[in-house]
A and B are shown apart, each in its own frame.
Chain A
Amino acid sequence: MSNAGGSLVPPDRVHAGIAGIGGQKNAKMSAAGLTSLTRCGVLVLRSPAGLAVRYAQTAAAPAAQPRIKKFQVYRWDPDTPGDKPRMQTYEVDLNACGPMVLDALIKIKNEMDSTLTFRRSCREGICGSCAMNINGGNTLACLDKIDTNLNKPTKIYPLPHMYVVKDLVPDMSNFYAQYKSIEPYLKKKDESREGKEQYLQSVEDRQKLDGLYECILCACCSTSCPSYWWNADKYLGPAVLMQAYRWMIDSRDDFTEERLSKLQDPFSLYRCHTIMNCTRTCPKGLNPGKAIAEIKKMMATYKERKTATV
């Protein structure tokens, strides 16, 4: 109750706070002073009394038992010769650490082992840098709360089936190259109006993009897909396919047919067997599996049109 700074507090709450410390003399006096003040409804800060109350309260808080949680983290440093991948265990006091796994990793790096390497940026789940495999599931470390059960260690691995650059840092170059290949930008047949004014879109057409544009390209879904594990070179993966769908159904984009024809081979799209690990693991709550199903439906009608014209 750190409201000794003069906020309106119901008198019984003030009593409870002061009584809890066991009645030190100056605290009782300030309690009387505060209750009379709050009854009057006057927001007057009487600093000596207020400070005395605050000191009394903080001094009386009992020293909590340290809650030690074990973290088993995958470590590999290819720059040290002869190093092999291994698991290293760190112990963190949860009382001195933020609630998320990223807080624990930063604490480990700051205080225990500064060689621990991982990507991070926004700490709020919007950049997608800290994607890693925590306790078997791919999530963002900054959004995953530490499991407070002290009996089980938290296991942290890099994203599965990705080449590792160091410790928890995966090599994302293949993923980015696949994203580049679908041409994730607006393409128009008639470029003469470009830059002059906004391309308008109805409210219904804009609602079609909801659930697709929020993708932060963290690669959690693609690296959770077994099909992507076995065919990462040719299968595009749920993240990239969802973005391909986002551009296909954008009413402002004119190249839908060309985008569909680009996926017309046995690997780019059709390695998806609706395993649905992608939807399960998405840290933003998006549904790549559904987007891929919609692409497959569009591909069916596109194929009919193509065979009709031929």
Chain B
Amino acid sequence: MSHHSKLQKQVLALYRQLLRAGQRKPGFTPRIRDEFRENAQIKRTDVMHIEYLYRRGQRQLEQLKDVNTKQLGSFSKPKDSI
């Protein structure tokens, strides 16, 4: 497999940091995984979009690391409903 680009390495590092920070707190890990899986389809060339999401992820990492953040809940559409 070819080497990761610098941006790819940054995104992977952010993913690792987010997962580690959300380990002890309920509800974060599945959300982080879903969000990254969904955005994995973005093309490598769309650097602007990737950088925007990276900055957004960093801000959310700061919020996650905060001691006062306890857990995360989310609404999701069930797959079989219209």
Contact = CB atoms under 8 A, between A and B. Distances in A.
B67 interface: no
How large, as a class, is the contact surface on chain A?
Answer: under 10
A84 B47 CA distance: 11
A173 interface: yes
Nearest to B62: A173
A147 interface: no
Contacts of A163: 52, 55
Contact of A78 (B52, B59, B62): B52
B49 interface: yes
B11 to A, nearest CB: 15
Contacts, number: 17
A171 B55 contact: yes
B46 interface: yes
Contacts of B59: 171, 173
A81 B49 contact: yes
A120 to B, nearest CB: 21
B40 interface: no
B52 A81 contact: no
Nearest to A78: B52
A82 interface: yes
Interface in A126-175: 163, 165, 171, 173
Interface in A32-81: 78, 81
A120 B44 CA distance: 35
Instruction: Say whether chain A's binding surface is mostly helix, strand, loop, or mixed.
Output: loop
B42 interface: yes
A159 B62 CA distance: 23
B42 A81 contact: yes
A176 to B, nearest CB: 11
Question: Which of the listed residues B42, B46, B49, B59 has the most CB atoms from chain A within 10 Å of its own CB?
Answer: B49
B46 A82 contact: yes
Interface in B35-80: 42, 46, 48-49, 52-53, 55-56, 59, 62
Question: Which of the listed residues B55, B59, B62 has the most CB atoms from chain A within 10 Å of its own CB?
Answer: B55
A45 to B, nearest CB: 58
Nearest to B41: A81
Nearest to B53: A78
A24 B33 CA distance: 77
Interface in B9-46: 42, 46
17 contacts: A78-B48, A78-B49, A78-B52, A78-B53, A81-B42, A81-B46, A81-B49, A82-B46, A82-B49, A84-B48, A163-B52, A163-B55, A165-B56, A171-B55, A171-B59, A173-B59, A173-B62
Interface of B: 42, 46, 48-49, 52-53, 55-56, 59, 62
Given A81-B49, A82-B46, A165-B56, 8 more contacts: A78-B49, A78-B53, A81-B42, A82-B49, A84-B48, A163-B55, A173-B59, A173-B62
